[in-house]
Structure 1
């Protein structure tokens, strides 16, 4: 059993390059406007659909993606592998995010999809040190990870309780 994730991408070649380096796996199938990967570790069927007309807002429905590991050492190993392949990361940090204590690193795809490699090391309350308040307005610089209590708020808008991970720029 594995999770399938289908993503729309603006540039299929750039996406194939990024995900090949990120998962250390070549695509299983590439066709015009389409590619898929059968990633063994973590178990994942990754499907890419090219949409050259998509803009950066194509991922607004997506909060972030993640690979949950079982140890902090696995996060560090993943971060080392990613940086050795030229994928920019945030570095490995211990943090409080998503109501959990975690060791994590983040990367961003060519289309702006943020990926978190992490291990949960404990539970946390939203108001513990390290939780970052949501921004009030404007385009999000941070990804939101706690769900809004009421339907309809925009990313970074009112009603968001916590943010983690970077939307762009990767530097913390």
Structure 2
């Protein structure tokens, strides 16, 4: 299983949740203060909403969610062979989930891409040093 992740900054997560629940016909898979994520089956999408007042309507980051750590490793190896550098983040907590992931460096227009798997749910968004994870 793989799906593209789109993480958006929104001014008001409650308003955004109502809109995207209607648009995609599903309720959020996870809700926390200032945060929601949707697991959309069709089209395959992980939509993450991050409340950042004044930044609404902007892209936070992009990603690819994969099934497991082996898939994270395989993608990192494949991209390294193609000459793309990455920054490893293993055993991190971000977006209310324990994750193993890496960030791809060198996108032509500077957009941030992560390739990740969720290891477990987390009660916290992330450690203070990881506040910029999303």
TM range (shorter): 0.5 to 0.7
- Matched ranges for 1:13-52 at <5 A: none
Q: Which runs of 5+ in 1 are unaligned?
A: 6-42, 45-59, 135-161, 166-172
Deviant stretches of 4+, over 3 Å: none
User: Offset at 1:131?
Assistant: 1.9
Number of aligned positions between the proteins = 82
User: Offset at 1:92?
Assistant: 5.1
Partner deviation per Cα, 1:15-56 (whole Å, 9 max, x = no partner): xxxxxxxxxxxxxxxxxxxxxxxxxxxx79xxxxxxxxxxxx
Are 2:128 and 1:132 equivalent residues in the alignment?
yes
Aligned residue for 1:121? 119
Partner deviation per Cα, 1:74-129 (whole Å, 9 max, x = no partner): 000000111111101003522111110001010131211000100001011226xx
Give the helix-richer structure, 1 or 2: 2
The separation in 2 between residues aligned to 1:118 and 1:97, in whole angstroms, is 11
Q: Is the 8 A contact 1:101 1:124 kept in 2?
A: yes
> TM-score, structure 1 length as denominator?
0.41
Are 2:48 and 1:62 equivalent residues in the alignment?
no
> TM-score, structure 2 length as denominator?
0.52
Are 2:77 and 1:80 equivalent residues in the alignment?
yes
Name the structure, 1 or 2, with higher relative contact order (CA <8 Å, separation 6+): 2
Aligned residue for 1:97? 94
Give the strand-richer structure, 1 or 2: 2
Larger radius of gyration: 1
Aligned residue for 1:71? 68
Aligned residue for 1:163? 132
